[in-house]
Amino acid sequence: MNRRTLLLGLSGAAVIAVAGGWIASRQGAGQTSFAVPAMAEDAPAAALLPDVPLGSPDAPVTLIEYASYTCPHCAHFHDEVFGALKRDYIDTGKVKFIHREVYFDKFGLWAGLIAQCGGTMKYYGIVDMLYGTQTDWIGDGKEQTISDNLRKIGLKAGLTGEQLDTCLKDQARAEAMVTTFQKHATDDQVEGTPTLIINGEKYSNMSYEELKKILDAKLAG
């Protein structure tokens, strides 16, 4: 099976079959809006994938970011906000950060499979690469271009070709990723990316200065 067939096969089986026509997205002011596809029934807890937390597990503030790898507003948040957030709050033990993937197109799901392929140890490093080079790996928007570029990112992150082949053929994993996204996004009433959940309260995309004020208020009690 060649690389093109590998990825296109996954898109058909894991995106179309799992979620049907699933997401209608549009660009909004500072966010990409979407509609979460309805689940046929409540997903059993065992079917949900665990979060990958970053920072101290005992941090007084938990910040969950819902984001898509193909969302330009998410890439902007990564470039303009996340670095300072990590430096000032995550690395200092004040905030526990959780990145939750949103899939409103097949390319975002492909990128998620690459990000998760290296396990928890490599996850945030690959996430950083995906957002930091978003326009480069999307390129001309063609399937072959994107699939080739995503594989290059995986290889650059230290994954082997065999590992990538295994991950990109893992339909069960892809289905679990979609189920996990649907369950969490529905529970948290997420309608756009990026969306931030800070100690249970939902916020839209914002600047670092705005985020800092909210975090400092939470930390002050």
Going by C-beta distance under 8 Å and a sequence separation of 6 or more, which residues neighbour residue 159? 114, 117, 118, 122, 167
The DSSP secondary structure of 142-177, one letter per residue, reads -HHHHHHHHHHHHHHTT--HHHHHHHHT-HHHHHHH
pLDDT at 45: 54
Q: Does 157 reside within a domain? A: yes
pLDDT tens, position by position, 112-132: 999 999 999 999 999 999 999
CB 186 within 8 A of CB 39: yes
Q: Provide the pLDDT for residue 29.
A: 57
Chain mean pLDDT for the chain: 86
| HSE value, Cβ hemisphere, 13 Å, CA-based, for 209 | 0
H or E segment and range at residue 202: strand 201-203
pLDDT band at 143 (very low <50, low <70, confident <90, very high): very high
pTM for this entry: 0.86
The per-residue pLDDT for 185 is: 95
| Helix H or strand E encompassing 84 | helix 83-85
Neighbours of 136 (CB within 10 A): 11
Please give the average per-residue pLDDT across 202-220, as a whole number. Answer: 97
Classify residue 215: in a domain, yes or no: yes
Residue 27 lies in a domain: no
Structural domain contains residue 75: yes
Q: Which of 121, 119, 110 is nearest to 153 (CA)?
A: 110
Tally of domains in the chain: 1
Is residue 100 one of the residues assigned to a domain? yes
Query: Which CATH number is 173's domain given?
Result: 3.40.30.10
Q: Could you tell me which of 102, 79, 63, 95 has the C-alpha nearest to residue 193?
A: 102
Asked if residue 19 belongs to a domain, the reply is no
Decide if 4 is inside a domain: no
Determine the structural domain holding residue 108 and report its residue range: 53-219
Whether 136 is in a domain gets the answer yes
pLDDT tens-digit profile of 9-63?
A: 444 434 433 343 344 344 555 777 766 655 545 555 558 999 999 999 999 999 9
Q: Are 67 and 79 in contact (CB under 8 A)?
A: no
